[in-house]
Amino acid sequence: MLSPCRLKPYAAAMSPKNARYAFPAMLIGSAALAFGPWLVRLADTGPIATGFWRLALATLPLLLLARLFAASPAAGMQIGGRRGLVLGALAGLFFALDLAVWHLGIMRTTLANATLLANAATFLLPLYGFVVLRQRPSPPALLALACAAGGMALLVGRSAELSPRHLAGDLLCLVAALFYTAYLLVVDRLRGQVAALPLLVMASGFGAAALLPMALAAPSNFWPENWTPLLILALGSQVFGQGLIVYAVGHLRPIVVGLALLIQPAISAALGALRFGEIPGTPEIAGAVLVAAALLLVRWQRPVSPETA
């Protein structure tokens, strides 16, 4: 899943001449993120340890990028004072819990379901606005929530029919989406105070610190023998994929971003079918189409922040 953040400060550091590269960057970045669940399965560390290494190995490169693309050296790591630091730590904690639970779910369900259900945060945020903030929902927003509910019901219901293991994995991915929604709400408090890359640095650094004791306490392997999947996950998903999308979102309309992000579940489904024999049936395809429709409807209504781990 991607970390959302205020995008304009980072995009402003880019030359307008490079806007023509935004759409290819969006496609490449989204495709890079789609390989994340597969790399989690390839890693020889435990699921929680994999999340730790993903964030820990990405923190230094992100810090270097934050300084490289800052408007000035002093602005390279502006964190919004003590309040920004506290909120950054809280965001890192929720992001860590999201990754820990999501990685456990990835090991127990299909790659397609893991990617789609983890994006439930996209629907939970509007639901939070309707229920808690008493915001009046628009007809497209209501339609998006209806599509999301129907799609997730089909995906989870089909998993319950196939095996208890798949059902447990789907439910873990939905719990991960709850943690990710909490992360988004904290990040929303930081908008306008902290630029994109410094926010990613804080989320990665504090998230790695939160995951470390969980990873060490888990019964699975912590130290990898093969670093390749972890390095690709950290640099490919956390740095390269997110970096390209952060750049691209500053130049593209929300609907274009929404369409490009749907590459992720499509690639994940293809990888699951080719590598693990996870062939989707009619209910899974129908559920995926409904979830995809909900994603597009939600993103049509509001600016899109990059997301899903």
Read off the pTM.
Answer: 0.75
Q: Which two tokens stand for residue 261?
A: 């992000």
Mean pLDDT across the stretch 80-87? 78
Burial profile 114-135: b = 16 or more Cβ within 10 angstroms, e = fewer: bbbbbbbbbbbbbbbeeeeeee
Each residue's pLDDT tens digit, 138-181: 777 677 777 777 776 776 666 656 667 788 888 898 899 888 88
| One-letter identity of residue 143 | L
The distance of Cα 243 from the centroid of its chain, to the nearest Å, equals 13
DSSP labels for the chain? -PPP---HHHHHTS-GGGGGGHHHHHHHHHHHHHTHHHHHHH-SS-HHHHHHHHHHHHHHHHHHHHHHSSSSGGGTT---HHHHHHHHHHHHHHHHHHHHHHHHHHTTS-HHHHHHHHTTHHHHHHHHHHHTS-PPPPHHHHHHHHHHHHHHHHHHHHHHHH-HHHHHHHHHHHHHHHHHHHHHHHHHHHTTTS-HHHHHHHHHHHHHHHHHHHHHHSSS--S-S--HHHHHIIIIIIIIIHHHHHHHHTTS-HHHHHHHHTHHHHHHHHHHHHHH-----HHHHHHHHHHHHHHHHHHHHSPPPP---
- At residue 10, the pLDDT reads 39
Average pLDDT, the chain: 77
- At residue 12, the pLDDT reads 42
Split at pLDDT 50, 70, 90, the class of 99 is very high
- Cβ atoms of residues 204 and 58 within 8 Å: yes
- At residue 225, the pLDDT reads 95
- Cβ atoms of residues 47 and 262 within 8 Å: no
- At residue 25, the pLDDT reads 83
- For the chain, which residues make up each domain, given as ranges? 8-301
| One-letter identity of residue 164 | P
- At residue 256, the pLDDT reads 60
